Amino acid sequence: MSPVARTVAVAGGTLYQVAAQYLGDARQWTRIASLNGLYDPWLPPGVLVLKLPPVSSQAGNGGILGG
């Protein structure tokens, strides 16, 4: 597993949005999910602190189609 680059606080939304904003690719949401022990891209209501992996252009896309 990749080292943690940083943490961010988010209020709801999806891991797709978080991945797009912080990793530059919404398809890398699974990297964030894995690092935080999450399985669902939909975040629960309220503020959640998430660990983010480093940005990586070599990461698997982790898209919803399993690509």
Please state the domain extents for the chain. Answer: 6-52
pLDDT tens-digit profile of 13-65?
A: 999 999 999 999 999 999 999 999 999 999 999 999 999 999 887 665 555 44
* Residue showing tokens 């480093």: 54
Other beta carbons within 10 Å of 46? 8
How does DSSP assign 29-55, residue by residue? HHHHHHHHT---SBPPSSEEEEEEPPP
30: CB partners within 8 A, 6+ apart: 15, 60, 62
Residue 6 is classified by DSSP as E
* Residue showing tokens 């660990």: 51
Tell me which of 15 and 4 has the higher pLDDT.
Answer: 15
- Using pLDDT thresholds of 50, 70 and 90, give the confidence band for residue 5: confident
